[in-house]
């Protein structure tokens, strides 16, 4: 008997991961992300000092064996505060993106699939929101709701809804013309089932990529709101707030500004590198 060749079915996600591993820049970004996540999760175990306890007699001490990154104007250990700041900034980044992605994807699905006046209404709402600079819109929302970490997270989630909504809308407009969607309609499948069983699974690849890149933007927005005093409130450790509290010591005690700034830069760099690599790995044209 002739031998039958085994046909291996390779998942597109497995193929994407294989291509992603070959990209050194993306892997480097992934390592940075993992390190920051570990630091944030295990901050209570890794931080050498309590980040909120003040030691005024130790204020503005330069980096030393006792305080590796020095102390701030209240004598608090900078290393401990940067570690706890990773927890705050990553929390805002992840959850704001998850919130805006869910709402934006739902609105984009509805607009792209049903079309007509529904599409016009949702698209005009997106256009109005995008007409405002994102950070100014976030400031306005926090000013209405009141300063605080949760309100800053909510504002960042709201301002990014149009980004994900328009992205998935454009993808749905293409997917709903496919033959398998026509076949599903011919079989009498309900619109809700078509949306969530066929349209969404074939449309979420660009959402995952944009979401990864969006976390970097959310971290920057959270730092900006914290710098303006609209985000995390004292004594909570947050990188943007740390920069704001230390801006008058930029010449006399530069370490108080340098290390929170480096933390913001590295975390944003990590997500951007990983997001760029993920986009290339999941793009079928890059095969």
What is the per-residue pLDDT for 8? 43
Q: Give the tens place of pLDDT for each residue, 273-287.
A: 998 888 877 765 555
pLDDT tens sequence across 244-271: 988 888 888 899 999 999 999 999 999 9
Delineate the domains of the chain, giving CATH numbers in brackets: 91-282 (1.10.3720.10)
Residue 199: predicted pLDDT:
77
Q: What is the pTM of this model?
A: 0.86
Angle formed at CA 33 by CA 10 and CA 234, multiple of 5 degrees:
145
Is the preceding omega at residue 184 within 30 degrees of 0, hence cis?
no
- State residue 10's pLDDT score: 57
Percent of the chain exceeding pLDDT 90 equals 45
- Residue in the structure block whose two tokens are 């990014």: 160
Query: pLDDT by residue (tens digit) across 188-226?
Result: 777 777 777 777 777 777 888 889 889 999 999 999 999
Per DSSP, helices labelled H in the chain are: 12-21, 24-41, 43-46, 78-114, 116-130, 134-145, 149-159, 161-175, 179-186, 191-194, 205-227, 239-246, 255-282
CA 42 to chain centre: 20
Please, what is the average pLDDT of the chain?
Answer: 85
The per-residue pLDDT for range 39-70, each reduced to its tens digit, is 999 999 999 999 988 888 888 889 998 889 98
**pLDDT tens for each residue of 116-174:** 888 899 999 999 998 988 889 999 999 999 998 999 999 999 999 999 999 888 888 88
């Amino acid at each position: 008997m002739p031998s039958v060749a085994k046909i291996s079915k390779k998942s597109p996600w497995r193929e994407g991961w294989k291509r992603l591993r070959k990209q050194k820049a993306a892997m480097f970004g992934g390592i940075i992300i993992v390190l920051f996540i570990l630091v944030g999760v295990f901050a209570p175990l890794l931080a050498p000092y309590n980040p909120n306890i003040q030691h005024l007699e130790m204020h503005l001490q330069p980096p030393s064996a006792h305080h590796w990154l020095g102390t701030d104007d209240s004598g608090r250990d900078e290393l401990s505060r940067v570690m706890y700041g990773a927890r705050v900034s990553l929390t805002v980044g992840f959850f704001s993106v998850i919130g805006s992605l869910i709402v934006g994807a739902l609105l984009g699905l509805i607009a792209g699939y049903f079309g007509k006046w529904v599409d016009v209404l949702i698209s005009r709402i997106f256009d109005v929101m995008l007409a405002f600079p994102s950070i100014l819109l976030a400031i306005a929302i926090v000013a209405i709701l009141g300063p605080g970490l949760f309100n800053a997270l909510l504002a960042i989630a709201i301002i990014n809804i149009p980004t994900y909504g328009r992205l998935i809308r454009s993808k749905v407009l293409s997917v709903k013309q496919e033959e398998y969607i026509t076949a599903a309609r011919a079989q009498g499948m309900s619109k809700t089932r078509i949306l969530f069983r066929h349209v969404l699974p074939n449309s979420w690849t660009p959402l995952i990529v944009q979401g990864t890149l969006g976390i970097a933007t959310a971290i920057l927005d959270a730092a900006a709101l914290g710098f303006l005093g609209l985000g995390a409130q004292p004594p909570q450790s947050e990188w943007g707030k740390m920069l704001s509290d230390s801006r008058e010591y930029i010449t006399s005690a530069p370490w108080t500004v340098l290390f929170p700034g480096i933390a913001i830069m590295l975390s944003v760099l990590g997500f951007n590198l990983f997001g760029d690599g993920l986009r290339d790995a999941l793009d079928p044209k890059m095969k």
